[in-house]
Amino acid sequence: MPTIQNLKKKLQVIHSTRKITQAMKTASTVKFSKMATLYSDYAKYEEQCNRIYQVYRKDFNAVLSLKNPDAPVLYILLSSNRGMCGSFNTELFSFFESILRKEKKSSVVICCGKKGKEFLDNKKISYKDAYIFEDVPGYSDVYELFGQIKELIQNGDVSDVKIVHPQYTNMMKQTPVSSDLFVFDEGVSVGEEPLFFPDKQAVILGTAEKIFVSILYKKVLETALGAQAATLTTMRSAYDTACEYSAQLETQINRKRQSQVTADVIEISSEYSMKEGE
Is residue 229 within 8 A of residue 171, CB to CB? The reply is: yes
**What is the per-residue pLDDT for 184?**
66
CATH number at residue 101: 3.40.1380.10
226 and 92 within one domain: yes
57 and 44 within one domain: yes
Residue 221 lies in a domain: yes
For 40, 78, 79, 153, the CA distances from 137, given in Å and listed in that order, are: 14, 12, 12, 24
Is residue 248 within 8 A of residue 10, CB to CB? The reply is: no
Residue 92 is part of which domain span? 29-231
260 and 138 within one domain: no
With a CB cutoff of 8 Å and minimum separation 6, the contacts of 126 are 109, 120
138 and 215 within one domain: yes
Block means of pLDDT (10 residues each) for the chain, 278 residues, are: 79 88 90 92 91 88 88 96 86 96 94 95 95 89 92 94 93 92 66 81 91 93 94 90 89 84 70 58
9 and 102 within one domain: no
126 and 71 within one domain: yes
**What is the per-residue pLDDT for 265?**
66
Beta strand segments in the chain, E: 73-78, 107-112, 129-131, 160-170, 173-180
Q: What is the DSSP string of 148-196?
A: HHHHHHHTT--SEEEEEEEEEEETTEEEEEEEESS--S-----SSPPP-
Is residue 73 within 8 A of residue 159, CB to CB? The reply is: yes
**What is the per-residue pLDDT for 225?**
95
**What is the per-residue pLDDT for 196?**
85
Specify the amino acid at residue 163: I
253 and 121 within one domain: no
Residue 109 lies in a domain: yes
**What is the per-residue pLDDT for 277?**
57
241 and 162 within one domain: no
**Number of domains the chain contains:** 2
Q: Which of the listed residues 231, 249, 269 is the one where a domain comes to its end? A: 231
105 and 208 within one domain: yes
Residues, the chain, total? 278
3-state class (DSSP) for residue 130: strand
Where on the phi/psi map is residue 163: left (φ > 0), alpha (ψ -120 to 50), or beta? beta
Residue 24 lies in a domain: no
